[in-house]
Amino acid sequence: MRVLVTGGAGFIGSHLVETYLAAGHEVWVVDDLSTGKMQNVSPHAHFIQADIRDESVRELMVKERIEVVNHHAAQMDVRRSVADPLFDARVNILGLLNVLEGVRLAQCQRIIFASSGGTVYGEQEVFPATEDHPTRPISPYGVSKRTGEQYLHFYHVEHGLAYVALRYANVYGPRQDPHGEAGVVAIFIQRLLAGQPITINGDGKQTRDYVFVGDVAQANAAALYVDYSGPINIGTAKETDVNILAAHLQRIIPGTPDRSEYGPAKPGEQRRSVLAWDRAARILGWKPTTPLDEGLKRTEAFFRQ
């Protein structure tokens, strides 16, 4: 199969590229390298440096007869979206629309979209949240991801485009960027390995559902073939608060003192977030297989190297 991965030089996207290549697919990567890194890109993939809003991306899909698009290129920082919602919308909404027009022109079989179960539901009423939970995002990032799902539904109804919107929980693992605001696991690990204190925003009792990137890649592999269009949660159904996450990492990294510091809570962040994965099991045949401790150890080993 001829697969295009947008954002394929990034944290999650690069793992997907490797998974697709291992399965025997021919893979193209589009990435503007604003946050992605060339060292993440497999030499066996066709790499094109481009912004997802460029006309050249549409032309590429038609020229290369792309069959499936996996859309992971995005502005993915919740806090930046709060500070600059216009930028978030330009990348996440207008960028997706450009890609969707390319999909339509190239007559692709389907699109797999990286959505966000961690933000589209807003403050949850039910724990864990199923895909039928009301969507009331409390950040521009969450709004843009939910808007993306609605555009996908339009293209499905109007043009017959098959799509899967994978609503991720908090993805972590090797290659996560420790230099931004988004990857708390990577940020904590890098600081602890450097003997520096870690800063916990608010009281640290806010919870997240941490899912390992290798498990996420397997969900994307399964999504190539399903006869289904709609959202699917990709999470573990297990909540972990930030205080507990910090304690896990301080136990895993030998000789690490308890050096947690507390700062102010950040705007646009939910109090609790955890996702049910029953639909993923039923439709994709997928389940999370990497326990948090094991995933943290594998991530720590990557950063130590």
DSSP string, 197-245: -EEEETTS--EE-EEEHHHHHHHHHHTTT-S--EEEEES-S--EEHHHH
Q: What is the mean pLDDT of the chain?
A: 95
Is 225 in the active site? no
| Predicted pLDDT at 209 | 98
Q: Which class for 81: exposed (0-12), middle (13-18), buried (19 or more C-beta within 10 A)? A: buried
Let me know how many helices (H) and strands (E) the chain has, helices first: 12, 13
Torsion of CA 72, 74, 76, 80, to 10 degrees: 180
How sure is the predictor about 181, in pLDDT bands with cuts at 50, 70 and 90?
Answer: low
Inform me whether the pLDDT recorded for 60 exceeds 90: yes
Inform me whether the pLDDT recorded for 187 exceeds 90: yes
Give the separation between CA 8 and CA 36, rounded to whole angstroms.
Answer: 8
Query: Which domains, from first to last, does the chain contain?
Result: 2-169+211-235+274-289 (3.40.50.720)
| Predicted pLDDT at 269 | 76
Contact present, 166 and 115 (Cβ < 8 Å): yes
Rg (Cα) of the chain, in Å, rounded?
18
User: Which candidate, 204, 203, 198, places its Cα nearest to that of 186?
Assistant: 198
Pick the catalytic residue: 20, 121, 141, 155?
141
| Predicted pLDDT at 266 | 82
Q: Write out pLDDT tens, residues 78-104.
A: 889 999 999 999 999 999 999 999 999
Inform me whether the pLDDT recorded for 254 exceeds 70: yes
Inform me whether the pLDDT recorded for 43 exceeds 70: yes
The two tokens of residue 77 are 């920082």
